[in-house]
């Protein structure tokens, strides 16, 4: 299989490396608007050649969109305008509703599949890409009923060979769930980090006292703004809904502490402990 990957950052680069290692692709073309990313991707063997967007569909079985989510819908339309009946396009972004709405009436809609491999790190760029990124993780396929069956089968096989567990859901369901399990985690990390930096002016003290709990909680705060601002904006209403509940829970904790209410604090913490059962129950 010959693949073109548009966007040679963490996810796009990792997709290329993972598919190479599994022996699924014989040739990988890359497209990236950042010349340094393109140069690095060539140097690291992530792609075989760099081509302009105008040549993205030439002699490729599949085109993978791994770019910021606000650019995906229009880029998807441009690709669907160019592909042949045997080619197909997939994205790997974190939001799906706007994308699926924009492409819904396109004549080649059946040749597009919206996917979200549930993996990522706080790092970005092709140098952060790894070949073993996706194994053991979940991947969501959205609106498969609107995608040609052979495309769904091909993408399912790709992800399964990468070691992923395939799930299907609507675009609306995906964006709602992603707001809870992914997007709010990043917001929490960003806000906690800025809170500490505002209150703790002595940087050395932060590093000297920071333990594993703090480090793991703020790890995501190192994530790139250019990646996450488009995600928050595209999933704005779901994220706002989650934030309302999150702020409500913070207020309950604050009130319990103000009242020296040990029983309420115990109830909140014990209830939070139940997340272990949820996480263990969803492990494959």
Where is average pLDDT lowest: 50-54, 95-99, 280-284?
Answer: 280-284
Average of pLDDT values for 110-137?
92
The model's pTM: 0.88
* Ranges of CATH 1.10.3660.10 domains, the chain: 174-281
pLDDT at 202: 63
CATH code for residues 2-169:
3.40.50.720
Looking at residues 190-208, what average pLDDT do you find? 75
Mean pLDDT of 240-261: 96
- Cβ atoms of 256 and 265 within 8 Å: the answer is yes
Average pLDDT over residues 9-29: 94
pLDDT at 13: 96
Is the pLDDT confidence value at 214 over 90?
no
> Which residue is associated with the tokens 């996810």?
11
Please say if the pLDDT value at position 209 is more than 90.
no
In what side-by-side order are the strands of the sheet with 27-31?
49-50, 27-31, 2-6, 62-65, 88-91, 112-117, 138-142, 165-169
In the CATH scheme, what architecture does the domain 174-281 have? Orthogonal Bundle (1.10)
Sequence ranges of the chain with CATH classification 3.40.50.720 = 2-169
pLDDT attached to residue 195: 84
Tens of pLDDT along 163-198? 999 999 999 999 999 999 899 999 999 998 888 887
Work out the number of other CB atoms within 10 angstroms of the CB of residue 59: 11
Q: Are 162 and 25 in contact (CB under 8 A)?
A: no
């Amino acid at each position: 299989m010959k693949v073109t990957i548009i966007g040679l950052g963490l996810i796009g680069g990792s997709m290329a490396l993972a598919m190479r290692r599994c022996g699924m692709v014989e040739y990988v073309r890359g497209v990236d608007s950042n010349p340094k990313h393109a140069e690095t991707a060539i140097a690291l063997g992530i792609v075989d050649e760099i081509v302009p967007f105008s040549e993205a569909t030439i002699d490729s079985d599949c085109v993978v969109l791994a770019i910021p989510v606000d650019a995906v819908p229009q880029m998807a339309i441009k690709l669907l305008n160019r592909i042949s009946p045997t080619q197909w396009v997939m994205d790997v972004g974190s939001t799906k509703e706007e994308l699926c709405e924009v492409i819904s009436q396109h004549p080649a809609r059946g040749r597009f599949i919206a996917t979200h491999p549930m993996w990522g790190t706080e790092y970005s760029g092709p140098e952060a890409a790894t070949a073993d990124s996706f194994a053991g993780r979940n991947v969501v396929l959205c609106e498969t009923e609107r995608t040609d069956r052979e495309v769904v089968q091909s993408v399912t096989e790709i992800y399964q060979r990468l070691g992923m567990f395939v799930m299907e859901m609507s675009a609306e369901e995906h964006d709602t769930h992603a707001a809870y399990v992914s997007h709010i985690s990043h917001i929490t990390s960003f806000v906690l980090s800025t809170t500490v930096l505002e209150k703790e002016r002595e940087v050395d003290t932060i590093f000297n006292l920071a333990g594993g709990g703090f480090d793991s909680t703020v790890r995501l705060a190192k994530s790139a703004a250019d990646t996450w601002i488009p995600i928050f904006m595209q999933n704005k209403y779901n994220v706002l809904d989650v934030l309302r509940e999150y702020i409500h829970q913070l207020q309950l904790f604050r009130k319990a502490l103000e009242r020296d209410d040990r029983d309420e604090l115990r109830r909140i913490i014990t209830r939070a402990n139940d997340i272990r059962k949820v996480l263990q129950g969803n492990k494959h």
